[in-house]
Amino acid sequence: MSTALWIDATAGVAGDMLLGALLDAGADLAYVRRCVAAVHPDVDVVVSSTTRHRLAATKATVVDRTTGHAADEPHEHEHPHDHEHPHDHEHHHHHQPHRPWREVRALLAAADLPDAVRDRAQRTFEVLARAEGRVHGVGPEDVEFHEVGALDAIGDVVGCCAALVSLAPARVTCSTVTVGYGEQVLGAHGRVPIPGPAVLNIATAAEVPITGGPVAMETATPTGVALVAALADGYGPLPTMTATASGLGAGTRDPERVANVVRVVLGRVRDDQAPVQVLLETNVDDLDPRLWPGVLAELMAAGAADAWLTPILMKKGRPGHTLAILCDSADRAAMVSIVAASTTAIGVRETAVSKHLVDRELVMVEVEGHAVAVKVARRGGRVVNVQPEFRDVEAYATAAGLPLKQAMARAVAAADGLWLVSAGPAVPGPVRS
């Protein structure tokens, strides 16, 4: 069994809300405070109990005692529009000094932080720097953070990273992030649509799934989305788990139409649980068939777990093929790009699928002086399949001057004793699919 953590961002996400949720789920507050204070001794985390839509939640506020400023203070500038802002925005503290990304990085590097916390915090600010750089047309090194460069905002990020390290999940996943809709005022930028440019750039670069609605307000902040992008290993609905803890983190505001909370769920997952992959499919009836082998080879070289063709009869009686690709979620964009560039397909279907795998290992056997790898598959400790690797059998047949079917028969005979071998470490050999 291993531990997994799921972030529920269906109501949006902000840094202080995620921190509150992680603390509510059992993260070590003393550890979080030590890490935040390592950035600056006058930065602290204040925690209180509250409710949002009658849901009990934890409110976490990172405070810079040198300025009396908190990371989640309300806006100080006026909005000439009447929609609500439920979350805590990083663009409102005009009195805060600018701090370049390189200075933030140096501050984190100099702080007495555990490497696991420092690495996650630096990764989060790297995501923010790249996003802000694209907004302003400059490189990440030239980005100057405004509000997110303030000590309390840095503490917000460090606090979330420390809380996550405290909970120590083996894997972190997140739901689709709800970003709201409408428009907002971003200081000198004037009116901009929701999601704001930084949020959209982060989601685009990190492939964070986002959705609009359900209310005309900003529900995801750049810091919140950057934390998700930096900390999550994948995205999707709540995974199958035995839940052991959950937490709700509250934002500052309490709008009427949405519970302003982030939720996290911590639980145990079976290590043999079927992994989720993506099945991509497209139907093609107008590609020169001589090109298909190259397409399949290109997909496999790019990281597909498998790729295959199925003959089909399409509309108007045209013969065609269904191209199917099995891959990890993180690789789907690369696979779609290959399909678009190397075939005549103009669309790709996507389905989440689970794989049930058997344990397998490669064992080397000797066939008349030639080494042949044999794949041994086990389920529940029992051998269920023994199969010589075809490429090794082919090489043996060529070297021995034998017909391929005869070489295969001899390899199968040499491997026959492996049906009785108990589970144990594999004899070192080449790993093949």
Those residues whose C-beta lies under 8 Å from the C-beta of residue 19, and which sit 6 or more positions away, are 32, 45, 60, 62, 156, 159, 160, 163, 249
Element (H, E) at 47: strand 43-52
Q: Which fold has domain 277-353?
A: Alpha-Beta Plaits (3.30.70)
Nearest to residue 308, comparing CAs of 284, 283, 325?
A: 325
Q: What is the pLDDT along the chain (433 residues), one digit of tens a residue?
A: 789 999 999 999 999 999 999 999 999 999 999 999 999 999 999 999 999 999 999 999 999 887 765 665 433 333 333 333 344 444 334 445 578 889 999 999 999 999 999 999 999 999 999 998 898 888 888 788 766 657 888 999 999 999 999 999 999 999 999 999 998 766 556 788 999 999 999 999 998 999 998 888 889 999 999 999 999 988 888 988 999 999 999 998 888 888 999 999 999 987 666 667 899 999 999 999 999 999 999 999 999 999 999 999 999 899 999 999 999 888 889 999 999 999 999 999 999 888 887 888 889 999 999 999 999 999 888 999 999 999 999 999 999 999 999 999 999 999 998 988 654 444 333 334 4
Q: Could you tell me if 88 and 222 are in contact, meaning their C-beta atoms sit under 8 angstroms apart?
A: no
Does the pTM exceed 0.75? no
Residue ranges of the domains in the chain?
2-67+98-269, 277-353, 359-419
Q: Could you tell me if 71 and 150 are in contact, meaning their C-beta atoms sit under 8 angstroms apart?
A: yes
**Sequence-ordered strand ranges (E) for 221-292:** 234-235, 242-250, 261-269, 276-284
Nearest to residue 252, comparing CAs of 25, 52, 36?
A: 52
Burial of 208 (0-12, 13-18, 19+ CB in 10 A): buried
Residue with tokens 């909970």: 167
Instruction: Using DSSP, state whether 332 is helix, strand or coil.
Output: helix
Beta pairing, strands 177-178 & 210-211: parallel
Those residues whose C-beta lies under 8 Å from the C-beta of residue 119, and which sit 6 or more positions away, are none
Tell me which amino acid residue 155 is. G
Residue with tokens 């907004």: 135
Six token digits for residue 48: 């209180």
The b-or-e profile of 225-253 (16+ CB within 10 A means b, else e) is bbbbbbbbeebeeebebeeeebbbbbbbb
Q: Could you tell me if 23 and 272 are in contact, meaning their C-beta atoms sit under 8 angstroms apart?
A: no
Burial of 319 (0-12, 13-18, 19+ CB in 10 A): exposed
Tell me which amino acid residue 242 is. T
Phi, psi of 218 (to 5 degrees): -80, 125
* Cα–Cα dist 140/158, whole Å: 20
* Cα–Cα dist 15/13, whole Å: 7
Q: Could you tell me if 64 and 151 are in contact, meaning their C-beta atoms sit under 8 angstroms apart?
A: yes
